[in-house]
Structure 1
Amino acid sequence: MQLSQNEEHHFSLSKFESMLKTNDILFFDADEFGSIIFHYLEVGKIALAKKAVRLGLEQHPNSIHLLLFKVEIYIFENKLEEADFILNSLHKIEPSNEEIYIQKANILSKKDAHQEAIQMLEIALENTTDAADVYSLLAMEYMFLEDYENAKKNFMECLAIDQEDYSALYNIIYCFDMLEESKESIKYLLSFIEQNPYCEVAWHQIGKQYFDLKKYEKALDAFEYAIISDELFIGAYLEKGKVFEKLGKYKEAIQNYQITLELDDPTAFAYLRIGKCYEKLEVEDLAIHYYKKATHEDPLLDKAWIAITDFHYRKLNFQKALYYINKAIQIDEENVLYWKRFAKINKKLNFIEEAEKGLKKSLELGNYELETWVTRCDLLINLGEYETAIETMFQAIEFYPDTAEIEYRLSGLHFTINEGEKGYHHLKNGLEIDEEYVMVIEYLFPNIFDRPSIQSLINKYKA
């Protein structure tokens, strides 16, 4: 009985793995070895692929096909010189073999020599019977060079040959986005749709482009067509939900998000959006219910924790807001958004030391907004930690030189610790930058602001 191609493949694999277990030497033709090696490379079993290459070349030492697999493994292992040596030998035997040029391009690409890699791929294109793959590789090299115009052209060539290559379609849209060509992107997608009227991916991408252009009704139509093309297309329902939210149609948005929960495993994103919609509809118990489901489904989704924290903050229930932000920090203590809210809530509760701790952590995590620096400084002033406050402001100056808010704080701080000369220096700096912000000293250091010498200097600048 003759075996199908798939059955032959499984038989060859079983036979090869049995040989490895028993140490028997069995014969395979070069094509069988090629099929076995390809399988192991596809599933990421590199060690088994290497064994198959070694045994294959022992039985078929002159097989160019197997030698090219050896080259591929060498490139994967970053043994580029060894790979190049084999390719140069093969080039003498088969100078028109496209795979030789493709692998040479891979080596050059790994060396960041993308322009030279493109030259190799152009030679491969002249010799290939599978131009779509080569166009795709060419496009990726142009992407590395951030030449999105040429990348786009090559992905288009690829898609023209293989109209079901949706990765090429997504990459074309990405190139349009990088070139900020939204209208051109829509025009291209509409022309693609003319030839592929039931391509759900193209309709989905058209909808996203219209959404970005705030043409919500057109976006809605495009997502409807995507669903007509594939009624199980979850992405289209999610995008429809987002459009309905923008249009203020929260009940319709909830319906579409609910459909995604029925079609596949629930997602934290869908729960979060449903919660947001219920909050807009002022159905607060259901809003909280879905926010909690979102945090349970994906504890690392910071937007869910922030939503439930901000909900309680807006309701002035600061204790509950603090409870949830503390839970979030326990899960991810490196999230700067959590620490900023931690500081904000503690400040509302008048827990000054905890609020300062939150801002300090925010700065350590790289949140260098001016507001973060000055708010931490003000809390340190409140705590009487003047030296640390001065140190904080000098760190802030590195990011925000010639900033009146910083200079006035430094002035008041230096006067507070009886460093008058430095105090006057920073006061003059502040007045030269922006005299209106002198209110900072009036608010934070009223006793210093009322000094006659300070008033005299301020009035002199105002005059």
Structure 2
Amino acid sequence: MNQDFPFLNDDFEEIRDLLQQFENLKSGQSHSFLDEDSFELIIDYYDEHDELPNAMQAAEIAIEQFPYSSTLLLKKANLLIESKKYQDAMDLLEKAAILDSTDINLYILQTDVYLAMNQHQKAAALLEEQISVFDGDDKTELLLELADVYDDCEEFDKVFECLKMTLEHAPNNEEALHKICFWTEFTGRNEESIRLHTAIINEHPYNQLAWFNLGTAFQGLKLYEKAIDAYQYAIVIDEKFDYAYRNMGDAYIRLRKYADAIDVLKKHLEIAKPEDVIYEAIGHCYDRQKKYTQARYYYRKASHLSPGNDKLYFKIGAAYMMENNWENAIKSILSAIKINKNNAEYLMALGNCYMELDRNKEGLIHLLAAVRLRPSSVNTWLEFIAGLYRSGFYEEALSQLEAATRKVGQKPAFLYCKAAISIATGQYKEGLLLLENALQDSPKHLKKMLEIDPTLLQHPGVLELVTRYKPVRKRNK
């Protein structure tokens, strides 16, 4: 590699010569004169190679020869901070300030000392004072340093304010643009972010990060169309802006524009490293379009990148269930359960698959297991009771219905279940009375009874009651 870049050899030769001269100096042998810049290089070399004792020795010898060098004092102060000798470092920094108070590194090192000593307010006060003194890049650096201080002491709104000031001073600063994107979402100050980035874009219309941040702020306010417009501008400026494609895909999903979401997420895959969340999102879009084969394809690609994600296997199984492919659904759901044994949703789905295959005993075992995992869930009880009903265990279904009522209280859906059980066992009068009471109290829960047994609508009395209590839809004038 050094043959391709000959200047690397030159740099190595230079530092090797300087280190040899320094060794000669320490041992009292003859040596060439080492100037201040040479000592800085030697100190930096030892520091970067984690040779702290050698770096400290070099700094001390350098300061003996150049006692009025504020730069060398700062170098030694930095080494003292690394050695956790904070008071010694602060004393040295005060000496350096007398020699040169215009070096920004002086204040950054003082800030490091204050933070190490858990004196956050002193660190903030120091930086706030110096921000008004410095200008240009130095002011930008101090503002970013102050934002980090506020982050350390968990004054998060001040972090946002500081980053906002940074961008008002330096609108194209990438570090500030990246950071304020996170802090806008964290603090929820989306409206301010929109105003800030709109102002930046007005002055710098080709700032893709400003367009991206504008998009995320709109997205934070659920203004997805405006967010998409902003992301599109970012992509026009930088067609390989992968995060813009990612966020745009999410915005399209929120708008239920699944075809558009698929297009931009596939574009993301073309320009960025494949990620399981992107594959999963594409799978979700196909799922919503009822294109289950494509959905499974992308869920599987996601699972290859994240083999420990049980949800992906379950989604594959659920897609099979939508096609009544119960055997393959079972295989995928069992893979999910192998990773996560204590998920009631998985057990209910597995139980229902077995029920569809007339393997009722296995189905009921898993539905009961779901109830035991989530005994306070109305839905798990309903699924188990429905399984008992379909298996013809009417007395047990009634018993479990009573147990469910004791556990979670009386629910409208339970009354429909009881009505269905009464009708199925020949207690028509009681069943129809229960059904009428249920329809009077909560007609919208009728679907629960019909999910358990659609054939109930063939009973004349049930059909008459359902027709009577069917809600009348208001016509639009």
| Residue matched to 1:113 | 119
| Residue matched to 1:251 | 259
CA contact (8 A) 2:63 2:73 kept: no
Percent of aligned pairs sharing the same letter:
24
What is the 5 A alignment of 1:20-419? Answer: 25=24, 29-34=35-40, 45=48, 47-48=50-51, 51-61=54-64, 62=67, 63-76=69-82, 78-91=84-97, 93-94=99-100, 97-125=103-131, 128=134, 130-299=138-307, 304-312=312-320, 320=328, 323-324=331-332, 327=335, 339-345=343-349, 348=352, 350=362, 371=376, 408-409=406-407
- Give 1:87 shift: 2.9
| Residue matched to 1:16 | 15
| Residue matched to 2:390 | none
**Structure 2 counterpart of 1:113, which letter?**
Q
Q: Deviations over 1:66-106 (max 9, x none)?
A: 44234334434544344334334444555565433322222
**Structure 2 counterpart of 1:102, which letter?**
I
**Structure 2 counterpart of 1:111, which letter?**
M
Q: What CA RMSD, in Å, does the superposition of the two structures yield over aligned residues?
A: 4.4
CA distance in 2, matches of 1:268, 1:280: 18
CA distance in 1, matches of 2:21, 2:367: 68
CA distance in 1, matches of 2:370, 2:51: 51
- Give 1:139 shift: 2.0
- Equivalent residue pairs, number: 373
Q: What is the TM-score normalised by the length of structure 1?
A: 0.65
CA distance in 1, matches of 2:144, 2:106: 17
CA contact (8 A) 1:143 1:151 kept: yes
Which region of structure 1 is more displaced relative to structure 2, 82-91 or 250-259?
82-91
| Residue matched to 1:417 | none
**Structure 2 counterpart of 1:15, which letter?**
E
The structure with the largest alpha-carbon Rg is 2
Q: 1:23 to 1:370 in 2, by over 3 A?
A: farther
Q: 1:265 to 1:169 in 2, by over 3 A?
A: closer
Q: Deviations over 1:130-164 (max 9, x none)?
A: 11111111122223344344333322332234333
Gaps of 5+ in 2: 25-30, 355-361, 385-402, 419-477
CA contact (8 A) 2:43 2:58 kept: no
Q: Deviations over 1:357-377 (max 9, x none)?
A: 8999x8xxxxxx88489979x
CA distance in 2, matches of 1:22, 1:318: 79
CA contact (8 A) 2:310 2:337 kept: no
CA distance in 2, matches of 1:180, 1:101: 31
CA contact (8 A) 2:184 2:217 kept: no
- Give 1:227 shift: 0.9
- Give 1:200 shift: 0.9
Q: 1:315 to 1:20 in 2, by over 3 A?
A: farther
